[in-house]
Amino acid sequence: DAGVIQSPRHEVTEMGQEVTLRCKPISGHDYLFWYRQTMMRGLELLIYFNNNVPIDDSGMPEDRFSAKMPNASFSTLKIQPSEPRDSAVYFCASSSNREETQYFGPGTRLLVL
């Protein structure tokens, strides 16, 4: 079975541009998580969904960030407008239950110039 799929793997953009990160969770997993990893703050949970519904978005840093899950096999994390401080690795993870093991995608390395 395929693992969590993320695209793009790398993204370089200029400040002010819109960035969209994509994630396909493992089939059958009801939970989907978006994390951000930086040297300064480590791994931070941004938002998670259960059955396509956002449950906790308290980790989303600002209104510039938004996430959607239109169906069970696809989610997006959008940053508009992007800023240099958004540069980080963004991971998507999925699990069958909230306490079960989260399986991570390969991450999207974002650089905002």
Partner 1 sequence: AQKVTQAQTEISVVEKEDVTLDCVYETRDTTYYLFWYKQPPSGELVFLIRRNSFDEQNEISGRYSWNFQKSTSSFNFTITASQVVDSAVYFCALSELSNDMRFGAGTRLTVKP
Task: Return the bridge partners of 67, or none.
Answer: 77
Sign of CA dihedral 51, 54, 59, 62: positive
The minimum distance between CB 52 and partner 1, in angstroms, equals 18
* Piece of the chain touching partner 1 by CB under 8 A; list 11-19, 21-29, 68-76, 87-95: 87-95
Out of 56, 61, 80, 85, the residue judged to bind partner 1 by CB under 8 A? 56
What is the rounded distance in angstroms from the CA atom of residue 82 to the CA atom of residue 85? Answer: 8
Separation between Cα atoms, residue 31 and residue 38, nearest integer Å: 23
**Considering the rule CB under 8 A, would residue 101 count as an interface residue with partner 1?**
yes
- Name the residues that contact partner 1, by CB under 8 A: 33, 42-43, 45, 48, 56, 89, 91, 93, 98-107, 109
